[in-house]
């Protein structure tokens, strides 16, 4: 019997390594930017799978969820290939333009529809929106505790978990009752590469799609219509950048640098 059902929330994002700025128009050029699984979410998936591995077979079920356009199916397949049991795609034109509030509304409805999720694992933040707000807002909507920046799950059973979180200057260990939600940092594990079996499964797996109707969501509560924030302008920062190269022998370089630092009052 399934003791613990775990939902892992993941997002597809444009990989930022290739972003270039057109110097003439000062705009962004998307050229060959690949869509990837949000980097932190790979750690969330891995942690879900690792928790399952702590238990006997069949006791833990890990379900991956994403809200996004139809092409986000790809990252769910990736999740399957590294060991997630099943996946659900939340996709509807009405979900587009969601801020973190509307995103958490949609995710909360899906999690309630799945039913009896004991743990929800998210990434610390995304590459694109980069807010880190979906986790705490989702937990609040579900009325469950949230621990951000989880760096280690020390103990877990159906009703309780001990989890360590990383803050700027310390680690804090908490005990919380489940159901609960956590977001993970990179420190928590090292994600595995897909197995051959996993890849085969990902190829053939059926991924159900839930739309607004299936989630019983009003158009007014999801997507841009259901959002409290709206992006009104996007622009590239004007970088006024000047570099002073310090030449000479290492001794001269250091002496010159020392003088510059003195002038700037930093030493």
Task: From the list ligand FAD, another protein, none, pick the one residue 41 interacts with, judged by a Cβ distance below 5 to 8 Å according to partner type.
Answer: ligand FAD
Question: 11 contacts which partner out of another protein, ligand FAD, none, CB within 5 to 8 A by kind?
Answer: ligand FAD
Residue 124 neighbours by CB distance under 10 Å:
21
b/e per residue 190-200 (b: at least 16 CB within 10 A): ebeebeeebee
Closest approach of Cβ 246 to another protein, in Å? 5
Alpha carbon distances (Å) from 65 to 96, 147, 211: 16, 19, 13
Pick out residues in 182-241 that bind ligand FAD (CB under 6 A).
229, 231
Q: Is 126 in the site for ligand FAD (CB under 6 A)?
A: yes
- Where does this chain touch ligand FAD (CB under 6 A) — which range of 47-55, 127-135, 206-214, 235-243? 127-135
Residues 3-62 that bind ligand FAD (CB under 6 A): 9-11, 38-41, 44
Of 18-26, 46-54, 118-126, 240-248, the segment contacting ligand FAD by CB under 6 A is 118-126
**Whole-angstrom distance, CA of residue 228 vs CA of residue 101:** 7
Whole-angstrom Cα distance, residue 185 to residue 249? 42
Q: Which does residue 24 touch among another protein, ligand FAD, none (CB within 5 to 8 A, set by kind)? A: none
Cα-based angle 183, 184, 189 (whole degrees, multiple of 5): 155
Q: Which does 205 bind (CB under 5 to 8 A by kind): ligand FAD, another protein, none?
A: none
Tell me how far, at minimum, the Cβ of 238 lies from another protein, in Å: 10
- Give whichever of 28 and 86 is closer to another protein, judged by the CB atom: 28
HSE-up of residue 39 (Cα within 13 Å, Cβ side) = 10
Query: β-pairing, 117-123 with 4-9?
Result: parallel
Tokens of 245: 């190269």
Instruction: List contacts with ligand FAD (CB under 6 A).
Output: 9-11, 38-41, 44, 65-68, 98-101, 103, 107, 122-123, 125-126, 128-135, 229, 231
């Amino acid at each position: 019997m399934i003791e613990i059902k775990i939902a892992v929330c993941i997002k597809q994002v444009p990989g930022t390594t290739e972003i270039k700025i057109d110097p003439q128009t000062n705009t962004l050029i998307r050229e060959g930017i690949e869509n990837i699984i949000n980097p932190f979410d790979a750690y969330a998936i891995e942690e879900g799978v690792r928790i399952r591995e702590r238990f006997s077979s069949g006791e833990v079920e890990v379900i991956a969820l994403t809200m996004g356009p139809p092409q986000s199916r790809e990252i769910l397949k990736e999740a399957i290939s590294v060991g997630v049991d099943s996946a659900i795609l939340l996709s509807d034109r009405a979900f587009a333009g969601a801020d973190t509030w509307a995103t958490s509304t949609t995710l909360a409805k899906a999690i309630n529809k799945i039913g009896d999720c004991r743990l929800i694992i998210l990434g610390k933040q995304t590459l694109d929106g980069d807010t880190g707000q979906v986790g705490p807002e989702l937990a609040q909507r579900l009325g469950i505790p949230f621990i951000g920046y989880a760096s280690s799950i020390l103990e877990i059973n159906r009703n309780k978990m001990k989890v360590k979180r990383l803050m700027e200057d310390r680690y804090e260990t908490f005990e919380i009752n489940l159901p609960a939600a956590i977001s993970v940092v990179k420190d928590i594990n090292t994600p595995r590469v897909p197995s051959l079996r996993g890849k085969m499964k990902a190829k053939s797996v059926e991924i159900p799609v839930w739309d607004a109707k299936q989630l019983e969501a009003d158009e007014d509560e999801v997507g841009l219509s259901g959002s409290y924030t709206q992006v009104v302008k996007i622009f590239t920062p004007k970088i006024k950048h000047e570099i002073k190269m310090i030449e000479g022998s290492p001794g001269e370089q250091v002496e010159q640098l020392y003088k510059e630092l003195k002038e700037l009052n930093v030493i």
